[in-house]
Amino acid sequence: MADTTSKSYFWKGFRDGTPFIFVAIPFGTLFGVFATEAGLNIVQTMAFTSTVFAGAAQFAALQLLQDQTPTAIILVSALAVNLRMAMYSASLTPYLGAAPLWQRACAAYVTVDQSYACSIVQFEKEPQMTVPQRMAYFVGSVTPITPLWILATYLGAVLGTRIPESWALDFALPITFLAMIGPMMRTLPHVVAALVAIVVSLLTVGIPYNLGLLIAGCAGMMAGAQAELFVERRKAAV
């Protein structure tokens, strides 16, 4: 990654990834606050945020922990939230799969919504990029948010217990996710998947251990996949 073009792609990734600090700082702070309120100490919170490095799954695990859910169900549910990382990994493989193993091992650790979203747009826009240039861009895109995410979590954990209830931070999680869901509704199958998942999650809310989440998630994914097939067949027929 030492040559100049790779270096300039690193900085291009860095610039493209910088706006996400406005998501990483509040989200990291909130995680620190929630973790403290859920009963985690500073060491546990920091180990959590720096090794798992996936906001949505971390919040899901804490939510279930507060609901007295058994550990195995917490792990399965939070990993289900993170299943999209496997999709990102799969989607990046044609672009980065030829890099040395140690680089791919590092890239896997920093595969998050933001680095994936930036990079896949860039890789599709400039298909002539070399593998080292792509790797430099990918690492660059996550460099601005990583230290700020960890620092923000620490500040949230330290300040957490002093944040008053009237700030209604219980609802920051739903609002943040809903805000992320809106822009994800790119096609009809995405909308179908989300609507089916919502309806099933409300119908299965009585099922213990939050298993309804997994049932609803699977139902939504199957609905999305079927809707995609349906749309393709309609296009082929026309």
Out of 1, 5, 108, 147, the residue judged to bind other proteins by CB under 8 A: 108
8 A C-beta contact, residue 131 and residue 1: no
**Looking only at residues 18 through 77 of this chain, which bind other proteins when binding is defined by CB under 8 A?**
22-23, 26, 36-40, 44, 47-48, 51-54, 56-58, 60-61, 63, 65, 71, 74-75
Out of 6, 111, 119, 153, the residue judged to bind other proteins by CB under 8 A: 111
Out of 84, 148, 150, 163, the residue judged to bind other proteins by CB under 8 A: 84
Out of 90, 236, 237, 238, the residue judged to bind other proteins by CB under 8 A: 90
Residue 98 phi/psi, 5-degree rounding, is: -90, 0
The distance of closest approach from Cβ of residue 44 to other proteins in the complex, given in angstroms and rounded to an integer, is 5
Out of 9, 34, 88, 154, the residue judged to bind other proteins by CB under 8 A: 88
- CA 20 vs CA 17, 35, 50, 145: distances in Å: 6, 22, 17, 7
The distance of closest approach from Cβ of residue 94 to other proteins in the complex, given in angstroms and rounded to an integer, is 7
| Helix (H), strand (E) counts: the chain | 13, 0
Nearer to other proteins, 15 or 83 (CB): 83
How many residues contact other proteins, by CB under 8 A?
Answer: 96
**Looking only at residues 180 through 219 of this chain, which bind other proteins when binding is defined by CB under 8 A?**
180-185, 189-190, 193-194, 196-198, 200-202, 205, 212-213, 216-219
By CB under 8 A, tell whether 220 contacts other proteins.
yes
Query: In this structure, how many other beta carbons lie within 10 angstroms of the beta carbon of residue 37?
Result: 16
**Looking only at residues 118 through 137 of this chain, which bind other proteins when binding is defined by CB under 8 A?**
none
By CB under 8 A, tell whether 171 contacts other proteins.
yes
d(CA 87, CA 66): 29
Helix (H, G, I), strand (E, B) or coil at 36: helix
Helix pair 101-109, 83-96: axis angle to 10 deg:
150
Q: Is the dihedral of CA 170, 174, 177, 183 positive or negative?
A: negative
The distance of closest approach from Cβ of residue 4 to other proteins in the complex, given in angstroms and rounded to an integer, is 26
State the distance between the two ends of the chain, measured CA to CA, in whole angstroms: 48
